[in-house]
Structure 1
Amino acid sequence: MAHYNKGSALEELKQYKDAIVCYDKAINLNPKNANAYNNKASALHEMKQYKKAIEFHDNALSLGQNAIFFLNKAESLLALGKKEEAKKYYQIALNAECANKGQIKQQLQTL
């Protein structure tokens, strides 16, 4: 948890490369830490490494069906211009009672 928490703090400070190092350590210690995969994907997304981010979104989703994981994958897909696939994941997040309903509905209207 310490590596995961440090990664989260570094990500908040926009120190994405350092955050990824921490998430990697967390994943190595606990390969079933879905949140570490998701946060690593988010950091990669912020670094505009969308394809690589999607790989880690998929890892997170294989470990847990969290609405925010679906939302984050939709954001990376949209950044790659994959609108139809992004729309599918936005809809799943919306149906999964994601807290960001307003944001999701707004995105779906633009797609």
Structure 2
Amino acid sequence: MLPIITFIIFLGIWEMVIIIGHYQPVLLPGPALVGKSIWTFIVTGEIFQHLAISLWRFVAGFVVALLVAIPLGFLLGRNRWLYNAIEPLFQLIRPISPIAWAPFVVL
């Protein structure tokens, strides 16, 4: 029950900020306008086109990653010299938090 109440409070604060702050809807649309836009996207089917494009990009990126990572893993596992050459780079990257890579994923 608490998550629902928290969500309702969040929506209320959001709407109050819009009403009191006199923000332009283009910069900060209210929850009602966002909900209306989402509903319009669902009814017209436009959201499914965008979802299909996003899913295609995800799958294509995953396939490219597999096509690079699997052969690279085999090469590094079989060739000791190549492993010793690349391993310091992996050790340099390893401590970086996965969340820190998020901006690069967006690109």
For the criterion TM > 0.5, the same-fold answer is no
Q: TM-score, normalised by structure 2?
A: 0.31
More helix per residue? 2
Indicate the structure whose relative CO is greater, using CA pairs within 8 Å and at least 6 residues apart.
1
